[in-house]
Structure 1
Amino acid sequence: MLTQNTLEALRQLKLTGMCDALEQQRAQPDTHDLAFEERLALLVDREVLHRESRRLERLLRAARLRMPACIEDIDYRHPRGLERSRMAGLASCDWTRQSLNLCITGPTGSGKTWLACALGNQACRQGLSVRYLRVPRLFEQLRIAHGDGSYARLMNQLMKTDLLILDDWGMQKVTAPQRQDLMEVIEDRHGRGSTLIASQLPTEHWHDYIGSATLADAILDRLLHGAHRLNLKGESLRKAQAQKAESVDPT
C-alpha cells in the first residue's frame, strides 16, 4: 500500500521516469538486494533519461525536419567532397553555439537537404532549438503574418531559434517585400542564432538573386561573414541510387 501511494505521488509530481523505474524494481527481485542509495540512483538516472528523451521529442517535433537524417549515416563513399574531419567539427555544433552560419551548396541531388536535416537532428540531440523551412514557405508565412497580425510573434520565434535551416535558397525570384522581410529575419538573428542555407545556387550568384544592391550587401555581409561553407560536388545521389536499384532488379 505504501509503495502504491509513492507511485501515485510520483505521477502527481510528473516524475514519470522514476515512477516507471520503481515499478520495474518491484517486478525484479534482484534489485531488492541493492543498497538504498543504489536503488535511488537508478530511479534518478531513469528520470533524467526520460526527461532528455521527452525534450528531444519536443525539439524534433518543433524542428519539422524534412528528412529523418542522422550524422552517423553520412555516406562518404560517394565523391561529393565531404571530409570526415570537417563533418565531425560541424557535428559538434560549436558553430551553432557561437551563432555562426553554414552555407551548403551543390547541384540537384547532391544531398544538401539531407545534410541540412542531419545537422538539424544533431543540434536537437544537443538540446538546441531548430526550425526547418523552405525559403518559399518562409516568405509565405511572413506574407500571411503581415495580414493577420502575427508578424511580430513569428519574427520573435525565428529570432529565438538556435538554428534556422533555410532550404531551396535561390529557387525563385525575390520580390521587394520578400527582400525586406528577409533582411529583417537575417538582421534579427545576426549574432543571436545560426542560419543554415541550402542552395543549388553558388554563393557568388546570391547577390544577383537577392536583387537590390544595398539590401543584398547588407544581407550577405551578415550571412557570409565568418560562415562555414560546404560545396558539394559530383553526380546526383538520387540518380546513382536509382541506377544501382535497376542494376540489381531481377526483373
Structure 2
Amino acid sequence: MSYSVESLQRQFKLFRMSETAKELPDFLRKAESHSWTYQEFLHELLSYEESCREQKMIEKHLKWARFPYQKSLNEFDLQEQRSLSSRQLKQLKELSWLEQSFNLIFLGPPGVGKTHLAIGLGLEAIQNGQRVSFISMGELIPLLKTEEYLRKAQIQLNRIRKADLVIIDDLMYMAMDQHEANLFFHLINHLYERSSIILTSNKGPEDWGELLGDQGITTAILDRLLHRSEVIHLNGESHRIKYRKSIF
C-alpha cells in the first residue's frame, strides 16, 4: 500500500502540525539522501515541529506583553549606568528572582534606563517560556476603572492577572484618588505571591503615601510589594538628554 505525499500532509494538518506538513517533501528528500534511519527521521521531524511551536508561542507572548518597544539586555550600556554592575546584570538575567516570585523595583530619575532594563528582563522571561504583561501606570488606572463595563479592559486585565511577570512602568508619577488607590491595591493583592512584579518609578516608596492619599492603603500595598523584593537605585544623567538629536 502506498501513500502520496499530499495525503500524508493532510494527515499532519489534521493533527495541527501544519508547519511540518509544509516541509514534509523536503524532509523526505533529506531522509533519502542522508540514509536516515526511521528514528532519525522521526527525531528531525518532531524537533522541527517543536521548534516551530516554541517560536509561535514566543510570538504570541510578545504580542500579549504589549511592550512599547523591544530592547534586549545586551543593548543595556553599563558604561552609562555605573550604579549597576556587570555581575548584578547577569544575576538579573538568570531570572532566579522570577522563579522565586521576587519583585524588582527600579528607582531613579527619568532617562537612566529603568524602562529599558524592565523590558529587557521581560524579553528574557518570554524567551524562557514565561507570560509577561507590560503596562504604564497611566494606562493601568483607566483600565481598572472601566473593567466593569468594557470588554477590552476585562481582556487586558485578565492577561495581566494571569501573567508570570507584570511590569508596571512609571509608578506613582501622578496622584490617585481613594477609589483608584483601592483598585490598584486589589490588583497588587491578587498578584501577591502569584506573579513577580517589576516596578519603575522616579519616586521612592517613602513618597508613595502622599500620592496615594491614604496611609492605610499605602502600607498595605508596600507590605505586599516589599515582602519579597529587590530595590535597585539607578543614578546618572538622562540618556535621552545626553544623546538628544537636534534639527540644527
TM-score normalized by structure 1?
0.89
Number of residue pairs the alignment of both structures matches: 246
Q: Distance in 2 between matches of 1:168 and 1:35?
A: 57
In structure 1, give the amino acid aligned to 2:136. Answer: R
Equivalent residue in structure 2 for 1:239, among 232, 237, 241: 241
Q: 1:94-243 counterparts in 2 under 5 A?
A: 94-148=96-150, 156-242=158-244
Aligned to 1:36: 38
The change in CA–CA distance for 1:124 and 1:194 in structure 2 (over 3 A counts) is: same
Aligned to 2:47: 45
Q: Distance in 2 between matches of 1:65 and 1:155?
A: 15
In structure 2, give the amino acid aligned to 1:177. Answer: H
Contact 2:118 2:198 in 1 (8 A): yes
Q: Deviations over 1:42-91 (max 9, x none)?
A: 11110110010000001110000112111222211213412222122222
Contact 1:105 1:230 in 2 (8 A): yes
Contact 2:143 2:157 in 1 (8 A): no
Q: 1:8-19 counterparts in 2 under 5 A?
A: 8-19=10-21
In structure 2, give the amino acid aligned to 1:96. Answer: L
Contact 1:101 1:196 in 2 (8 A): yes
Contact 1:80 1:110 in 2 (8 A): no
Shift of 1:113: 1.1
Report the aligned-residue RMSD.
Answer: 2.3
Structure 2: runs of 5+ lacking an equivalent = none
In structure 2, give the amino acid aligned to 1:221. Answer: D
Q: 1:48-59 counterparts in 2 under 5 A?
A: 48-59=50-61
Q: Distance in 2 between matches of 1:117 and 1:73?
A: 11
Q: 1:68-107 counterparts in 2 under 5 A?
A: 68-107=70-109
Question: Identical aligned pairs, as a percentage?
Answer: 26
Shift of 1:97: 2.3
Q: Distance in 2 between matches of 1:113 and 1:131?
A: 13
The change in CA–CA distance for 1:20 and 1:150 in structure 2 (over 3 A counts) is: closer
In structure 1, give the amino acid aligned to 2:128. Answer: Q
Contact 1:145 1:154 in 2 (8 A): no
The change in CA–CA distance for 1:68 and 1:10 in structure 2 (over 3 A counts) is: same
Shift of 1:115: 1.1
Aligned to 1:65: 67
In structure 2, give the amino acid aligned to 1:22. Answer: L
Aligned to 1:3: 5
Q: Distance in 2 between matches of 1:150 and 1:67?
A: 22
Q: Distance in 1 between matches of 2:183 and 2:153?
A: 10
More displaced 10-residue stretch of structure 1: 16-25 or 167-176 = 16-25
TM-score normalized by structure 2?
0.90
The change in CA–CA distance for 1:87 and 1:148 in structure 2 (over 3 A counts) is: same
In structure 2, give the amino acid aligned to 1:134. Answer: S
Contact 2:5 2:25 in 1 (8 A): no
In structure 2, give the amino acid aligned to 1:115. Answer: L
Contact 2:205 2:222 in 1 (8 A): no
- Judging by fraction of residues, say which structure has more helix: 1
Q: Distance in 2 between matches of 1:191 and 1:42?
A: 40
Shift of 1:202: 2.2
